[in-house]
A and B are shown apart, each in its own frame.
Chain A
């Protein structure tokens, strides 16, 4: 008796492989943008592995953290620099592939019925990944780490009634201190990755029920995909995916070995000093757009804060903002224009986020923030126009 048969009798592995891989079909009319989901998984794996190796020398203590990273790991541990650079570049690239993965979903209407759960779990994953990046950024205990944590935790102060106490509770001190570092460490290393894995499992399960979307937003049954409209996930889809992965890894390790500096802010090589804010503080590039929305409403702190929270979560409600019967942006002329304005605006906000918030920049930030929200608010209107058009055409 072969081992696989022995295992199959006990765990039904053959059926599992069929359902999840060999008889799970991906539509044929997709393009390379559909390879980014697997790329996200790949980067996550890289982050977990490099993270485990950093964990072996990192010390989560306000007195030891900075040196354990910048001396022990960077100078003493053989190849320690490789794992740190891989982890830092990995975190950055994670958001690049995530943004592309999400933008593909937005453009081709992958959030629409019956894929709402896929979109929602995916969005929760994005929020969890942001929290993981934020807590992880404090760990090297440099100036930028420290002041990013100080600024973001201060945001909670504005919550009515409980705000000021909540901030002290989150920090475990009146300021960001040792207690904050150790709890962020626990969240970054155990709790958040655990949640990420759980939600990834739900996300992957959820996408296997309706199946992947496609360029035309067409609905195919499993039978249609089996006979001509699709290809099996394994081995056919993954065979192409391996090619994309190898190209991606070449690019990724080029960054790790030659361009890692973009992920290593020079200010963060000064130890955290709670009495001196650096001249300019800014988040990592992947948070700049949201950060610029926060600053965009420069005339009212409360408005800025509400806008910031809204900007981070509004996209989660896409399935209910965009109710157009036409799924794919490929067949929606107005939506296509709005989408590209939104992408351009996101890039614009990202660039502005790094510039000083004065004079003209402050106003540009305001306008950019308004355009950001205008995209989402225009969707119900576009949906109505398209509904009429579809009804009239039939």
Chain B
């Protein structure tokens, strides 16, 4: 009000100062509204994040000596299937992708679009029903759209037990060589 009365006296100064006062209010309100809208959007974004109980899904332990040679067992970890295959000598060998030299431990999720490949024991391959991708007994992609081998989940070996979700030395070695994804 004071500014307004002062400005009544002097022509151009009045217009400038009136504008700047109006601009200030606009920017202040605009800024405040941006903060508000940003806050609301952030809140909305956060509501869609996984719940604590989901995030806290811990590690899974599994005794790999219970798998018979040539047998495939499926372990559930974080809601996803992990294939544990105890290989026989007539299957494809791959020293650096094997766990304890005879197990293939891979995520049972096709690297193409996330379907679960089926083990075809007669052909000794995993075949993805969705888009026809094939993986050999090491989990390497050998046909179709999958862009890379089946991922190796983080694991740690404790005697005959494998702990999924923790990075042991064997896993770190594989990871350094870029063999886990």
Q: Which of A276, A277, A280, A362: most chain B Cβ within 10 A?
A: A277
User: Are A357 and B79 in contact (CB-based, < 8 A)?
Assistant: no
Stretch at the interface among B3-11, B19-27, B30-38, B47-55: B47-55
Let me know if B114 is at the binding interface, CB within 8 A: yes
How far apart sit A147 and B110, CA to CA, in the bound complex (Å)?
Answer: 13
Specify which chain B residues have a CB less than 8 angstroms from the CB of A362 in the assembled complex. 132
Chain A contacts for B169, CB-based, 8 A: none
Q: Is the CB of A174 within 8 A of B132?
A: no
For the complex, is A358 an interface residue (Cβ under 8 Å from B)? yes
Does B115 lie at the interface of the complex (its beta carbon under 8 Å from any beta carbon of A)? yes
A168:B50 contact, CB within 8 angstroms: yes
Interchain CB contact under 8 A, A304 and B54: no
Q: Which of A273-322 contact B (CB under 8 A)?
A: 274-281, 295, 298-299, 301-302, 304
| Cα separation A275 to B51 with both chains bound (whole Å) | 21
Interface size class for chain A?
35 or more
The A133-169 residues at the B interface (CB cut-off 8 A) are 147, 150-151, 154-155, 157, 168-169
> B15 in the interface, Cβ–Cβ < 8 Å?
no
**Are B113 and A151 closer than 8 Å at their CB atoms?**
yes
A357/B50 contact (C-beta < 8 A), A151-B114, A175-B79 known: no
Minimal beta-carbon separation of A244 from chain B (angstroms)? 40
Bound CA span A152–B117, Å = 17
Distance to closest chain A CB from B53 (angstroms)? 10
The winner among B45, B74, B128, B131 for most chain A CB atoms within 10 A is B131
Determine the distance from Cα of A183 to Cα of B44 in the docked complex, in whole angstroms: 12
B129 touches A281 (CB 8 A): yes
Contact B116 A277 (CB under 8 A): yes
The smallest C-beta distance from A297 to any residue of chain B, in angstroms, reads: 9
**Contact present for A172 and B54 (CB under 8 Å):** yes
Which chain B residues lie closer than 8 Å to A48 at the CB level?
Answer: none
Output the least CB separation between B34 and chain A (Å): 22
A357 and B131 form a contact (CB under 8 A): yes
Within 8 A of A (CB), among B104-138: 108, 112-118, 128-132
Interface residues of B in 126-181 (CB under 8 A from A): 128-132, 144-147
Instruction: Determine the chain B residues whose CB is within 8 A of the CB of A278 once the complex forms.
Output: 129
Assess whether A179 is interfacial by the CB under 8 Å rule. yes
- Write the nearest CB–CB distance from B14 to chain A, whole angstroms: 44
Q: Which DSSP category, helix, strand, loop or mixed, fits chain B's interface?
A: loop
Q: Are A174 and B48 in contact (CB under 8 A)?
A: no
A59 to B54, CA, bound (A): 21
Q: A151-B130, A281-B129 are in contact. Are A274 and B79 (CB under 8 A)?
A: yes
A304 touches B145 (CB 8 A): yes
On whether A301 and B147 interact (CB within 8 A), knowing A168-B50, A173-B79, A278-B129, the answer reads: yes
The answer on a CB contact under 8 Å between A275 and B129 is no
Contact between A174 and B50, CB atoms less than 8 A apart: yes
Residues on A with beta carbons closer than 8 Å to the beta carbon of B132: 298, 356-358, 362
In this assembly, does A103 line the interface, its C-beta being within 8 Å of a C-beta of chain B? no
| B57 and chain A: residue at smallest CB distance | A174
CA distance A219 to B173 in the complex (A): 72
CB-CB < 8 A to B114: which residues of A? 150-151, 154, 157
From the candidates B45, B74, B130, name the one contacting A275 in the complex (CB within 8 A): B74
* Interface assignment of B18: CB less than 8 Å from any CB of chain A: no
Which of chain B's residues have a CB closer than 8 A to the CB of A170? 48
Write out the residue numbers on chain B whose beta carbons fall within 8 Å of the beta carbon of A356.
Answer: 132
Residue of A nearest to B79 (CB): A175
Q: In chain A between 168 and 212, which residues have their CB closer than 8 angstroms to a CB of chain B? A: 168-175, 177, 179, 183
Are A281 and B116 within 8 A (Cβ)?
no
B76 at the interface (CB under 8 A from A): yes
A147-B115, A154-B114, A274-B79 known; A179+B145 contact, CB < 8 A: no
Residue positions of A touching B, CB distance < 8 A: 147, 150-151, 154-155, 157, 168-175, 177, 179, 183, 274-281, 295, 298-299, 301-302, 304, 356-358, 362
Which residues of B are in contact with A by a Cβ distance under 8 Å?
A: 45, 48-51, 54, 57, 74, 76, 78-81, 108, 112-118, 128-132, 144-147
Apart from A179-B54, A274-B80, 20 more pairs, CB < 8 Å: A150-B114, A157-B114, A169-B45, A169-B49, A172-B48, A172-B49, A173-B54, A174-B57, A175-B79, A177-B79, A179-B50, A275-B76, A276-B116, A277-B115, A278-B129, A281-B130, A298-B132, A356-B132, A357-B131, A357-B132
Q: What are 14 pairs between A and B in contact, CB < 8 Å?
A: A150-B114, A155-B113, A157-B114, A170-B48, A172-B51, A174-B79, A179-B50, A275-B74, A275-B116, A277-B118, A280-B129, A281-B130, A301-B147, A356-B132
